[in-house]
Amino acid sequence: MLNATIASGRRALTLSTAGLIAVAGLLSACTAKSGDPAPLPAPAVTSPGGSGSAAEVREIECTAGEAHVRTEFPAGPDDLVAGSVSWPGLRGWATADPADVGDAGSADRKIGAVIRAGQVVTVAVADDSAGLNYGQAWGYSPAHAVTFHGCADSDTAYIGGFHVAGRRCVRLIITEEGRAPTPVTVSFFAGNCASAQVSR
């Protein structure tokens, strides 16, 4: 049903978002959570089970071993879009209550990242204020940087989210071939961040 082409782009987004929520719910049911937010662990590595430095980037690919949904690229008013990556509804988190987003007592915030078909996009957190919880092989543990590879034949929503404790503004750097790196400041429950706007 998620792969069906539907005339209304907004309806397709609704189905894709529902699919992401359902898959994220199933995945979270298998993950134990502690009562206190976990500190941000060491930077992710390029392959599961290895060790590395902050310079290494986690590769998130369109394979059977990575939780993803084929979808249509969203473009709603609350969607954060930067080049070929989008987080549906993320702009709305600026005024949300952190207790209403994610698991109670956890700093993990679930939201799918949608990548345009065939595109490769690297997302990095500029400092240690947050982590990127993408990568099924890594157990969705926080990473400082991930490279998303969109499926060749369709836009792709990857299951995951952010590791963000409390209310804060988080600076991301979005990089893709043929474009200058794009800095994006995202408000996680912190109201209006100074540079929260990004050119689409």
pLDDT band at 61 (very low <50, low <70, confident <90, very high): very high
Span between the terminal Cα atoms of the chain, in Å: 29
The span from the CA of 136 to the CA of 196, in Å, is 29
pTM of this prediction? 0.72
Token pair for residue 162?
Answer: 């952010």
Strand 120-125 and strand 168-176: the pairing is antiparallel
Beta sheet of 182-188, edge-to-edge order: 58-60, 145-149, 120-125, 168-176, 182-188
Looking at residue 54, what is its pLDDT? 53
Is the per-residue pLDDT at 53 higher than 80?
no
The span from the CA of 70 to the CA of 44, in Å, is 25
**pLDDT tens-digit map of 8-52:** 333 333 333 334 333 333 333 333 333 333 333 333 334 444 433
Lookup result for tokens 């298998």: 30
**pLDDT tens-digit map of 142-190:** 999 999 999 999 999 999 999 999 899 999 999 999 999 999 999 999 9
3-state secondary structure of 114: strand
% of the chain at pLDDT higher than 70: 68
> What's the Rg (C-alpha) of the chain?
16
Looking at residue 48, what is its pLDDT? 46
Q: What does pLDDT average to over the chain?
A: 77
Q: Is residue 11 within 8 Å of residue 99, measured between CB atoms?
A: no
pLDDT band at 105 (very low <50, low <70, confident <90, very high): confident
Residue type at 88 in one-letter notation: P
**Where are the domains positioned within the chain?**
9-188
Q: CA angle, corner 87, sides to 85 and 90, nearest 5? A: 145
